Amino acid sequence: MKFTWKKLCLLALCASMLLGAVACGGQDSGDTDTVDSANTSADAAESDATTDDAATDGTTTDDATDDTTTETNPEDFLVTETDGTAQVVTPDGLKYSVTGYAERTDKASFAFDKTLKYTFPEGAFSEAFNRFSVSYKSSEPVKITVAYKVSKYDTDDYYFLEAGEGVFSGLPSSFMNAAECFDIQSIQVESLTGKAAEFSVMNLTTETIAVPRDSLYIENDRFRLGIDLGWGGTINYIGDKNEDISGLTNLVNKHDTGRLIQQSFYGTGPIPGVYEPGISFDSQWVYNPVQGGDQYNNSSRLIDLVVKENSVYIKSQPQDWSLDNKLTPSYMENTYTLKDDRIQVDNRFTDFSGWTHPYAGQELPALYTVSYLDTFVWYDGDASWTGDALSSRGDLNFWGDAQYVADCTFLLKEKNSETWCAWVNPSDNYGLGLYVPNVDQFKAGRYEYNGSKSSKDGATNYVAPVNIIKLVAFEPLEYSYLLTAGSLEDIRATFTTHKDFTTNAALHKNYTSTRLPSIEGDPTKLVFDSQSKINALTNPFSTTVEYDEAQQAAKLTAGPDGDTNVTVKYSDYVSITAETYKILKIEYMIPEDNSTGYYECDLFLCAGVNTNPTGDARLRENLITDGEYHVLEIDLSTASFWKGDIHSIRFDYFDFSSAGDVMYVKSITLE
């Protein structure tokens, strides 16, 4: 099933606000594909494995797959050179020849401009293997191409290595097919930055680990966790052994590659002559690594796997959502750890593209539940972890529909550190909770709600904690989160106990805040005379919102996508009624040098039963373009839809405009 809402997600992304991850028809990764963690890989459990905190302790990708770093004295290498070829014997007895280098900077390191090649003697790796580990040093991030044999046929795979010193472990592309690999012949090295690099191979080893089926399961006394190796190592199953609700076995919706619980990131648009994203639902897309796969159901590539008794480490190379079977130049890493009353997930994303990315709303992570868990619960106050009242919404619509975007966006207050949320079924007081420290907002909603308990149903509920983050090539982005299940009281108690398990400091790097500031005075009288006050203009769509000190006003600049708007969400600050506040005033100025001399604006007035913008609760007004300030005053008392609690007002300040058109707004008041 393909969802037309992906196009809407892109439009919201262009406004630096996040919408949900893509869902489209995909393969079935059945709940019955079980591999016992104790038997999945005895070899892997004894191999160079990740620590539980690998994704949060600042180590490189390579440290995440090996507990130690090789330290070798370059003077211990034996090197002889003849006609541009170096013959090397490492302290561990590994032999190889090196060509393509410009100079040897020490006995172990070779400088090169374009391509460096390591060639190994025939028969050096004669034993069958399906996992290799290379100890290396590199001054730049590099791409390596490893040539080897599958059966009697020559083949090769490429991998990305970060700059620095460490151990990189990789699986051949035929790993899940249980193919036996032999005879590593060579490793070719290319700099990913275009700069000259220095590189050295300290050691290279191979091993054979057990090959699991597509769905790998680990469990403790409380949870059974399913990991879909066919879909990039995403979470496709959470079973709670304390839950006895009839028909409810899996809390995760796994209908397709866009569901599950997974990493997904948004980056650059087209780069002429370099990168051209595809079309998704009739829209030009952006760089979008998705852990599960692409819109054509091509799976992401499994790069590494380490299984321990209570944890699994996964490294995958995600597909680019809009393109057909085009792996992205990036890696996603997940360490899943079962703890007594919770599941800890440590995530790491590294982009190797070298491209410059814009700020964009990032899903941290994307989580999809079964439709049965139908009510969204979160903490919306500023007295965190004190047991203060929770907020809930059991009426959310589809978050990808433009008319529901604002209603499905929940900005958190400046002082709120209780940044967990849950999807629950109130009648059974049972749900699935997610806690991600240091996030600014939630995107949440329901799709085709039917209350189904089936993990394969098309109906689903979604949430993504969101920060506005600019991806930076070669700079890893790391964050961790907790999952738990049970009653709402138990979920909150678990997260309260473990609230300090990580700071997620990296989520505030290359970042811009969308936290909801405290409003001084009466929120019905918004005067935009300072930088902090313009943040009351939320959910900008095709709009840049800035504070203009000279004008002492909010400056709204139209983007290229049309439908320019901002929203004031009164329900975030105060409880007020339309029967009390009947007059709306907007003080504005439109410069004379805008693209046209005539504008109209639309006002979508959300009150009472109208919780979302709708054409049935809209007013259109003419605006004056003369470079002078004017007050647009509207009597709302005659509008039949203006009754009940006031939720929000969406101000579509230009009905039609050109990119770069500007409006200054000094105030928005209700009287």
543-582 residue pLDDT tens = 999 999 999 999 999 998 778 999 998 887 778 999 999 9
Containing structural domain, residue 501: 5-36+212-512
pLDDT higher than 70, residue 57: no
Instruction: Examine the domain organization and report whether 585 and 500 are in the same domain.
Output: no
In a domain, 45, yes or no: no
Place of tokens 């095709």: 542
In a domain, 518, yes or no: no
Place of tokens 């919780």: 611
Partners of 512 in beta bridges: 468
- The predicted model scores a pTM of 0.76
pLDDT at 473: 98
Instruction: Examine the domain organization and report whether 564 and 468 are in the same domain.
Output: no
Give Cα 496 to chain centroid, integer Å.
Answer: 24
Instruction: Examine the domain organization and report whether 275 and 330 are in the same domain.
Output: yes
Place of tokens 């750890």: 337
Q: Answer for the pair 231, 29: CB distance below 8 angstroms, yes or no.
A: yes
pLDDT at 18: 36
pLDDT higher than 60, residue 62: no
pLDDT higher than 90, residue 26: no
In a domain, 64, yes or no: yes
Instruction: Report the distance separating Cα 462 and Cα 398, nearest Å.
Output: 9
Pairing of strands 142-150, 181-191: antiparallel
Q: What is the DSSP letter of 449?
A: -
Partners of 553 in beta bridges: 548
Domain count, the chain: 3
Instruction: Report the distance separating Cα 193 and Cα 444, nearest Å.
Output: 38
pLDDT higher than 50, residue 206: yes
Query: pLDDT-derived band of residue 523, with 50, 70 and 90 as boundaries?
Result: confident
Predicted confidence (pLDDT) per residue in 405-429, tens digit: 888 999 998 889 999 999 999 999 9
Q: Answer for the pair 398, 461: CB distance below 8 angstroms, yes or no.
A: no
In a domain, 519, yes or no: no
pLDDT higher than 50, residue 603: yes
Instruction: Examine the domain organization and report whether 203 and 216 are in the same domain.
Output: no
Structure-model confidence comparison of residues 31 and 159, the more confident one: 159
Instruction: Examine the domain organization and report whether 22 and 142 are in the same domain.
Output: no
Instruction: Report the distance separating Cα 277 and Cα 287, nearest Å.
Output: 6
pLDDT at 43: 37
User: Mapping DSSP to helix (H, G, I), strand (E, B) and coil, where does residue 356 land?
Assistant: strand
pLDDT higher than 80, residue 382: yes
Cis peptide before 365 (omega within 30 of 0): yes
Neighbours of 285 (CB within 10 A): 25
Instruction: Examine the domain organization and report whether 358 and 291 are in the same domain.
Output: yes
User: Mapping DSSP to helix (H, G, I), strand (E, B) and coil, where does residue 256 land?
Assistant: coil
Instruction: Examine the domain organization and report whether 478 and 616 are in the same domain.
Output: no
Q: Residues with Cβ < 8 Å from 599, sequence gap 6 or more?
A: 590, 622, 623, 625, 654, 655, 656, 657
Q: Answer for the pair 322, 288: CB distance below 8 angstroms, yes or no.
A: yes
Examine the fold and report which residue of 484, 512, 540 is the final residue of a domain before the chain moves on: 512
In a domain, 546, yes or no: yes
Place of tokens 């005053």: 633
C-alpha closest to that of 1 among 21, 27, 28, 26:
26
Instruction: Report the distance separating Cα 458 and Cα 438, nearest Å.
Output: 31
CATH number, domain containing residue 554: 2.60.120.430
Q: How far is CA 195 from CA 64, 102, 111, 137, 266, in A?
A: 26, 13, 11, 16, 26
Neighbours of 23 (CB within 10 A): 27
Instruction: Examine the domain organization and report whether 218 and 302 are in the same domain.
Output: yes
Examine the fold and report which residue of 207, 231, 262 is the final residue of a domain before the chain moves on: 207
151-155, 246-250, 299-303, 348-352: least confident range = 151-155
Examine the fold and report which residue of 176, 207, 238 is the final residue of a domain before the chain moves on: 207
- Per DSSP (E only), the strands in 487-542 are 511-512, 525-527, 538-541
Q: What is the mean pLDDT of residues 308-318?
A: 96
Predicted confidence (pLDDT) per residue in 325-347, tens digit: 999 999 999 999 999 999 999 99
pLDDT at 70: 44
Instruction: Examine the domain organization and report whether 234 and 321 are in the same domain.
Output: yes
Instruction: Report the distance separating Cα 523 and Cα 504, nearest Å.
Output: 32
**Amino acid letter for position 203:** N
Query: Would you say the C-alpha torsion 200, 348, 266, 27 has a positive or negative sign?
Result: positive
pLDDT higher than 90, residue 110: yes
- Average of per-residue pLDDT values in the chain: 88
In a domain, 46, yes or no: no
- How much of the chain, in percent, has pLDDT values that exceed 70? 88
Among left, alpha and beta (phi > 0; psi -120 to 50; other), residue 448 is left
pLDDT at 330: 98
**Listed ranges 14-18, 334-338, 522-526, 591-595; the one with the highest mean pLDDT:** 334-338
pLDDT at 73: 64
Q: Answer for the pair 142, 157: CB distance below 8 angstroms, yes or no.
A: no
Predicted confidence (pLDDT) per residue in 616-641, tens digit: 999 999 999 999 999 999 999 999 99
Instruction: Examine the domain organization and report whether 594 and 536 are in the same domain.
Output: yes
Q: How far is CA 508 from CA 100, 384, 467, 633, in A?
A: 42, 20, 8, 40
Instruction: Examine the domain organization and report whether 640 and 532 are in the same domain.
Output: yes
Q: Output the six-digit token pair for 235.
A: 């979470």
